[in-house]
Amino acid sequence: MQQVPALEIDGITLSQSLAVIQYIDETRPGPLLLPADPKKRAQVRMISDLIASGIQPLQNLYVIQKIGAEKVQWAQHFIDRGFQALEAILKQTAGKYCVGDEISMADICLVPQVYNAERFKVDVEQYPTIKRLNQTLTEIEAFKLSHPSCQPDTPPDLRA
């Protein structure tokens, strides 16, 4: 697909963010990114899939490049459509984070999608739960370190 991320790890190469996150969760120490409780686990997967399959692909570069002049409106439309559903779901599932009070794969999906929404000038004020969760998460050191502006290959003009 000529997309990032691709991760070389333990002798294999993995693409697809959710597969990468779940492999790291299953093989590396640290907090569980998929909760043990089956209901919470399903909610984490539901939110992650909603973002990774229901929103992100519709506003990805290779899609909007095909749209032409209407590309910003196109991206805004599909992000808004997804955020309306996501806001309603998060109202039911969120505590401090997307599902309860533990950071999960859903939070890892949410932050870059809000970053994209802001890039396309979507009014995130319309989604108070999404806005609150994103504010909480982006204050956490690990999320700060993973920001696109802080990567080793970030072009100089986009560095933090």
Ligand X SMILES: N[C@@H](CCC(=O)N[C@@H](CS)C(=O)NCC(=O)O)C(=O)O
- The three-state secondary structure class of 138 is helix
Distance from C-alpha of 111 to C-alpha of 47, rounded to nearest angstrom:
12
Does residue 17 touch ligand X according to CB under 6 A? yes
Does residue 22 touch ligand X according to CB under 6 A? no
Please, what is the minimum distance in Å from the beta carbon of residue 91 to ligand X? 25
Taking CB under 6 A as the criterion, the residue among 21, 34, 44, 52 binding ligand X is: 52
Does residue 4 touch ligand X according to CB under 6 A? yes
Residues 79/44, Cβ–Cβ less than 8 Å: no
Instruction: Give me the sign of the Cα torsion angle 49, 127, 123, 96.
Output: negative
Does residue 158 touch ligand X according to CB under 6 A? no
- The three-state secondary structure class of 154 is coil
Does residue 60 touch ligand X according to CB under 6 A? yes
User: Taking contact as CB under 6 A, which single stretch among the options 3-11, 38-46, 125-133, 150-158 is the one that binds ligand X?
Assistant: 3-11
The size of the interface with ligand X (CB under 6 A), counted in residues, is: 9
* Rg (alpha carbons) of the chain, rounded to whole number: 16
Taking CB under 6 A as the criterion, the residue among 36, 61, 145, 160 binding ligand X is: 61
Instruction: Decide whether 55 or 90 has the Cβ nearer to ligand X.
Output: 55
Residues 138/144, Cβ–Cβ less than 8 Å: yes
- Which residue of the chain is nearest ligand X when measured via CB? 3
Taking CB under 6 A as the criterion, the residue among 9, 26, 42, 62 binding ligand X is: 62
Residues 44/34, Cβ–Cβ less than 8 Å: yes
Q: For the window 79-98, what string marks contact with ligand X as x by the rule CB under 6 A?
A: --------------------
Q: Which residues of 106-124 are buried (b: 16+ CB within 10 A; e: fewer)?
A: bbbbbbbbbebbeebebeb
Binding site for ligand X (CB under 6 A): 3-5, 16-17, 52, 60-62
